[in-house]
Amino acid sequence: KAGVTQTPRYLIKTRGQQVTLSCSPISGHRSVSWYQQTPGQGLQFLFEYFSETQRNKGNFPGRFSGRQFSNSRSEMNVSTLELGDSALYLCASRLLEETQYFGPGTRLLVL
């Protein structure tokens, strides 16, 4: 089985722009979670989608949003980018309620 894939792998944006990141889960996995990882804050949970519905949400501003499609692929969007949004964004998929499988991440740099 193919693993979790994320596109793009690297991205450079400027403040005020918006960005969309994509995640394709492992085939058969219906749950997709997104995390932001920075040196200062560590791994922070953004949100989780299950069967196209947002099931859980972390403590991030409304500029961070996501969605999941019927094929379980997920996108996250960040609008009005700020310098502090520079981070590694990780997507993970899981079957049922247990082990998460992570993608390689998208490294976003906001200038």
Partner 1 sequence: SQQGEEDPQALSIQEGENATMNCSYKTSINNLQWYRQNSGRGLVHLILIRSNEREKHSGRLRVTLDTSKKSSSLLITASRAADTASYFCATDLNRDDKIIFGKGTRLHILP
Of 56 and 80, the one with the shorter C-beta distance to partner 1 is 56
Smallest distance, Å, CB 16 to partner 1? 26
Q: Which amino acid appears at position 111 of this protein?
A: L
Instruction: Concatenate the DSSP letters of all residues of 27-95 into one string.
Output: TT--EEEEEEEETTTEEEEEEEEETTEEEEE-S--TTEEEEE-TTS-EEEEE-S--GGG-EEEEEEEES
Smallest distance, Å, CB 17 to partner 1? 23
Q: Would you state the structure tokens that stand for residue 27, as one six-digit string? A: 């085939």
Cβ atoms of 34 and 74 within 8 Å: the answer is yes
Smallest distance, Å, CB 28 to partner 1? 17
| Binding footprint of partner 1 on the chain (CB under 8 A) | 4, 33, 35, 42-45, 48, 55-56, 58, 88, 90, 92, 97-105, 107
Of 45 and 60, the one with the shorter C-beta distance to partner 1 is 45
Of 36 and 72, the one with the shorter C-beta distance to partner 1 is 36
Smallest distance, Å, CB 98 to partner 1? 6
